[in-house]
């Protein structure tokens, strides 16, 4: 019985540590160029940026979102938490936009490093990477409810 008394707090602590990874427990962080004055946005605002329903940052500059590839577990979690949809649903959304000639999706990058490089090189870019990625001097955009 004593083993379980010691083991249970350890398991709870481990669960709390895993849950606190990333921003607000997310397995990803949303990154922006350090020159971008933005500091936080709501999930809805971020979703609109990545769906290109909003084309400018609040400070008036054109926004350049970048996605991870469809097979990325980070993208799957980002799509579920930010858009409230699966990656397949988001892909279907973009297929309709492409077919109607209205827009094209954000570029897709295969790795966190490629997203980080894109955001570093584009002052008005925004992307997301795994919570453990080394983002260098990029800023993390905080998400509010």
pLDDT in tens, 78-116: 999 999 999 999 999 999 999 999 999 999 999 999 999
User: What's the pLDDT score for residue 145?
Assistant: 77
Instruction: Find the CATH number of the domain harbouring 59.
Output: 3.40.190.10
Q: What mean pLDDT is reported for the chain? A: 88
Residue 132 forms part of a structural domain: yes
Whole-number Å distance between alpha carbons of 51 and 103: 10
Residue 130 forms part of a structural domain: yes
Q: How many domains is the chain built from?
A: 1
Domain carrying residue 33: 26-144
User: What's the pLDDT score for residue 18?
Assistant: 44
User: What's the pLDDT score for residue 21?
Assistant: 40
Beta strands in 36-98, from DSSP E residues, in sequence order: 40-42, 64-65, 67-68
User: What's the pLDDT score for residue 19?
Assistant: 41
Residue 9 forms part of a structural domain: no
Query: Edge to edge, what strands does the sheet with 139-144 contain?
Result: 40-42, 139-144, 28-32, 125-130, 64-65
pTM: predicted TM-score of the whole model, two decimal places: 0.82
Residue 117 forms part of a structural domain: yes
Residue 7 forms part of a structural domain: no
pLDDT in tens, 3-61: 555 556 555 544 544 443 434 457 999 999 999 999 999 999 999 999 999 999 988 99
Residue 8 forms part of a structural domain: no
């Amino acid at each position: 019985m004593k083993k379980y008394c010691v083991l249970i707090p350890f398991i709870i602590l481990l669960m709390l540590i895993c849950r606190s990874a990333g921003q607000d427990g997310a397995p990803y962080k949303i990154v922006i160029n350090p020159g971008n004055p933005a500091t936080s946005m709501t999930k809805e605002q971020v979703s609109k940026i990545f769906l290109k329903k909003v084309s400018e940052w609040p400070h008036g500059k054109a926004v350049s979102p970048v996605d991870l590839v469809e097979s990325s577990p980070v993208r799957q979690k980002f799509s579920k938490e930010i858009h409230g949809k699966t990656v397949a649903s988001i892909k279907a959304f973009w297929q309709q936009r492409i077919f109607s000639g209205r827009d094209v999706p954000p570029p897709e990058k295969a790795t966190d490093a490629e997203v980080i490089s894109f955001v570093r090189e584009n002052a008005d870019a925004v992307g997301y990477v795994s919570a453990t990625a080394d983002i260098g001097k990029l800023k993390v955009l905080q998400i509010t409810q």
